Amino acid sequence: MENTNVKTNTVSAQKKYKKRTPMGEVWHRLRKNKGAMVGGAFVLLLVFLALFRDVIYDYDTQIVMQDLSKRFIHPCLEHPFGTDNLGRDLFARVVYGTGSSLPVGVVAVMVALVLGLPLGAIAGFFGGKIDDVIMRIMDIFAAVPGILMAIAMVAVLGTGTIGLMISIGVTAVPAFARITRASVLSVRNQEFVEAARAIGCTNLDIIFKHVIPNCLSPIVVQVSLRIGNSIITASSMSYLGLGVTPPMPEWGNLLSAGRTYIKDYSYLTMFPGLVIMLTVIAFNLLGDGLRDAMDPKLKK
Amino acid sequence: MHRYILKRIAMLLLVMLGVSLLIFFIMDLAPGDQALMILGEAATEEELNALREELGLFDPFFVRYGRYMWGFLQGDLGYSHKYLSDVLPLYLERLGATVVLALASALFAHILSIPMGIYAALHQGKVSDNIVSALAIVGLAAPNFWVGLLLIILFSLKLGMFHSGGFVTLSDVVLPAITVGTANMALLTRTTRSGMIDVLRSDYLMLARAKGVSEKMVVRKHALKNALIPIITVSGIQFSAMMGGAVTTEAVFSFPGIGTLLVGAIKSKDTVCVTGCLILTSLLVSVTLLAVDILYAYVDPRIKAQYSK
């Protein structure tokens, strides 16, 4: 099909400017952003720890086994974060806790995405009555403050990881629906949508194969920023005793356990909080970097 | 303008009706048996069933919802068996503490963030700007219950300046206010900085400078006024969110606000109390948000002009 002339032209162009795929272009710009790269590396490390926590540590002997002869050892070389009131190594528990905190944050955002993205896309694409109904329902969900909604849902779903993931996810649905809707509105009247309709694509095909792929960049950014937030909410809930319950370590419940001994052993509250903060910073830096890389117009 | 306000109020009422239905539905699914709470574990099944019948717990969902809302409109939100009090007076009593906390933390956040944001914007790209931006990143990422615990370690355990919990004297509000205010301050600093940078680039500031207005006056009179608009939006959202009580911060400091009330009620499965608190809080947050929106239209003539079309 391709004209040979055009082909030679492209080849000569390739010599001057390296041609990149859209994703390659984003990656190229992202790579120049130091903050995003450091954040991304930290996120990768966390994912690795979360996936292989049971290879690194043995749950029964290294995470939950009590050894009262070793209680309250201040941070030292052998125990970088010290030991808790039951003689368990806090560093091991924080590292193992990555596997509780990170999945909750990630899955919660996935729940929000799976519900919010189609709702927002349908509302934005069809407009009119459908849009009104969907967005008013989203308004109702958004009117209940996030953490209160999550607390109420946990009362129904029960505490524990699954309940936590769904509860936190549902609270973020309106945000994803709104962002998707706004970005669908900006592309739905463009020519390629009309072209897809002209060749006989069904509405569903148009939405999922043509419209959504062209609206992804604000959504990807939102995902990265939201994961950090969800991790904070999840650890808050665990801190309140409404999330992951001991003896399974989770960053929030480690903090809550340290609260009792805050007077004499403040290191017990220091480290888990520091790790939560670094994690959220990492996701935020990555999200900010992605936003700048995907939409250079927005960059200040 | 008035038509716009009326429309917004009508919309708010509709959304709140939906919110009440949603919350009533969720709490209906939640475990927690009123009859069991009243009679205690010792009651027999017949006694429990008799009481359930009397309370109308066997009625269909919409009958119970209708009855609840009828009571709600008359100010009767039911009786909390955990706190041994009617829900409404209980809520109003706790609301005072939450409002004090919200005001104090807003004060803290604004006093620090606006000057910091302006300073950073005026020194864009310099070391001081980078420090402010880094502080904002840290402030946004620090979980507030952790910030609270650190403040307790430093100011109440090490320095002995404040109590570590409760709300007896007004000074007890200082640490919780800083805790809630930290993240808000970080976001406000960012907003102020980017708002100022946008305004500083604008043509009318160039005109002001060309006329010979001093740089100090340019910043104070011409730039800040316009940069205030996004700041007001953000602080409005933050303040309305704080009306919902700072759940984790209140828990850290055992602060007797709405957050601790709600968590206590959830833990003891007091669904009546939880339902009432959630509906009232959502109402309060939405009304505050609407009030800020309307106020904002009055402050900015451009926005007012948009709505009166």
pLDDT (0 to 100) of residue A2: 46
- Predicted confidence band of residue B74 (pLDDT cuts 50, 70, 90): confident
Query: Which of B74, B104, B122 is where one domain is finished?
Result: B74
- In chain A, residues with a C-beta closer than 8 Å to the C-beta of B145 are 236, 239, 252, 255
Q: Give the total number of structural domains in chain B.
A: 2
- Best mutation target, B23, B247, B250, B284, to test chain A (most A CBs within 10 A): B247
Answer whether residue B147 is part of any domain.
Answer: yes
- Best mutation target, A33, A132, A135, A144, to test chain B (most B CBs within 10 A): A144
pLDDT (0 to 100) of residue A133: 92
Q: What percent of chain B has pLDDT over 70?
A: 98
* More confident site: B39 or A230: A230
Across the interface, whether the CB atoms of A148 and B149 are under 8 A apart is answered no
Across the interface, whether the CB atoms of A255 and B146 are under 8 A apart is answered yes
- Best mutation target, A33, A38, A137, A151, to test chain B (most B CBs within 10 A): A151
Mean pLDDT along residues A175-182:
91
Answer whether residue B274 is part of any domain.
Answer: no
pLDDT (0 to 100) of residue B279: 92
**B248 and B219, same structural domain?**
yes
Residue among B31, B143, B152 whose CB faces A236 most closely: B143
**B139 and B57, same structural domain?**
no
Across the interface, whether the CB atoms of B19 and A143 are under 8 A apart is answered yes
Residue among B241, B266, B282 whose CB faces A155 most closely: B266
Whether the upstream peptide bond of residue A22 has omega within 30° of 0, thus cis, is: no
**B149 and B31, same structural domain?**
no
- Best mutation target, B159, B164, B196, B248, to test chain A (most A CBs within 10 A): B248
- In chain A, residues with a C-beta closer than 8 Å to the C-beta of B26 are 152-153, 155-156
Residue A177 near residue A116, CB atoms below 8 Å: yes
pLDDT tens profile B83-127 = 888 889 889 988 988 999 999 999 999 999 999 999 998 888 889
Write the DSSP string, A8-20.
Answer: HHHHHHHHHS---
pLDDT (0 to 100) of residue A108: 94
Question: C-alpha A47: how far from its chain's center?
Answer: 12
| Range(s) of the domain holding residue B64 | 12-74
Can you say whether residue A290 is alpha, beta or left, with left for phi > 0 and alpha for psi between -120 and 50 degrees?
Answer: alpha
* Lowest-pLDDT choice from B34-38, B190-194, B208-212, B249-253: B34-38
- In chain B, residues with a C-beta closer than 8 Å to the C-beta of A144 are 19, 22-23, 278, 281-282
CA torsion sign for A164, A168, A170, A173 is: negative
**B112 and B220, same structural domain?**
yes
Question: C-alpha B143: how far from its chain's center?
Answer: 16
- Spatial neighbors of A161 by CB under 8 A, at least 6 apart, are A100, A103, A104, A244
Across the interface, whether the CB atoms of A281 and B30 are under 8 A apart is answered no
CA B216 – CA B112 distance, rounded (Å): 20
Answer whether residue B272 is part of any domain.
Answer: no
Across the interface, whether the CB atoms of B285 and A145 are under 8 A apart is answered yes
Answer whether residue B218 is part of any domain.
Answer: yes
Calculate the alpha carbon distances from B196 to B119, B120, B188, B190, B231 in Å.
10, 9, 12, 10, 10
**B97 and B128, same structural domain?**
yes
- Spatial neighbors of A160 by CB under 8 A, at least 6 apart, are A243, A244, A245
- Predicted confidence band of residue A12 (pLDDT cuts 50, 70, 90): low
**B151 and B53, same structural domain?**
no
Backbone angles phi, psi at A72, to 5 degrees: 50, 50
- In chain A, residues with a C-beta closer than 8 Å to the C-beta of B274 are 152, 155
* Residue in A closest to B137 by C-alpha: A281
Backbone angles phi, psi at B85, to 5 degrees: -160, 160
CA A88 – CA A82 distance, rounded (Å): 9
CATH number at residue B209: 1.10.3720.10
CA B22 – CA B266 distance, rounded (Å): 17
3-state secondary structure of A65: coil
- A30-66+77-298 maps to which CATH number? 1.10.3720.10
Answer whether residue B24 is part of any domain.
Answer: yes
CA B172 – CA A203 distance, rounded (Å): 59
Backbone angles phi, psi at A295, to 5 degrees: -135, 80
pLDDT (0 to 100) of residue A9: 55
The residue type found at A23 is: M
Is the pLDDT reported for residue A15 higher than 80? no
**B52 and B189, same structural domain?**
no
- In chain B, residues with a C-beta closer than 8 Å to the C-beta of A262 are 149, 152-153, 157
Is the pLDDT reported for residue B148 higher than 80? yes
Give chain A's end-to-end CA distance (angstroms, integer): 43
Answer whether residue B287 is part of any domain.
Answer: no
Q: Which one, of B136, B116, B124, B123, lies nearest residue A285 by Cα?
A: B136
- In chain B, residues with a C-beta closer than 8 Å to the C-beta of A139 are 15, 18
A-to-B residue pairs, Cβ atoms closer than 8 angstroms? 129
- In chain A, residues with a C-beta closer than 8 Å to the C-beta of B194 are 300
- Predicted confidence band of residue A8 (pLDDT cuts 50, 70, 90): low
Backbone angles phi, psi at B287, to 5 degrees: -65, -40
Q: Which one, of A222, A97, A233, A99, lies nearest residue A165 by Cα?
A: A233
**B123 and B39, same structural domain?**
no
